Amino acid sequence: MSDMNESESGGALDVAFFTRWLTLAAAAVDREADRLTELDSAIGDADHGANLKRGFAAVRDVLEKEPPQTPGAVLVTAGRQLISTVGGASGPLYGTLLRRTGKGLGDSVTVSREQLAAALTEGVAAVGRLGGAHAGDKTMLDALGPAAGALGESFEAARDAAERGALATVPLQARKGRASYLGERSVGHQDPGATSSALLVAALAEAAA
Compute the least distance from the CB of residue 11 to another protein, in Å: 27
Residues 166-185 that bind another protein (CB under 8 A): 177-178
Q: Does 84 bind another protein (CB under 8 A)?
A: yes
Q: Does 2 bind another protein (CB under 8 A)?
A: no
The region of 17-25, 55-63, 85-93, 148-156 touching another protein under the rule CB under 8 A is: 85-93
Closest CB to another protein among residues 33, 158:
33
Q: Does 72 bind another protein (CB under 8 A)?
A: no
Closest CB to another protein among residues 51, 112:
51
Closest CB to another protein among residues 11, 44:
44
129 burial (CB, 10 Å; 0-12 / 13-18 / 19+) is: exposed
Report CA 58 to chain centroid distance, whole Å. Answer: 16
Question: Mask of contacts with another protein, 44-63, x by CB under 8 A?
Answer: ---x---x------------
Q: Does 83 bind another protein (CB under 8 A)?
A: yes
Which residues here bind another protein, judged by CB under 8 A? 47, 51, 80, 83-84, 87-93, 95-96, 99, 130-131, 177-178
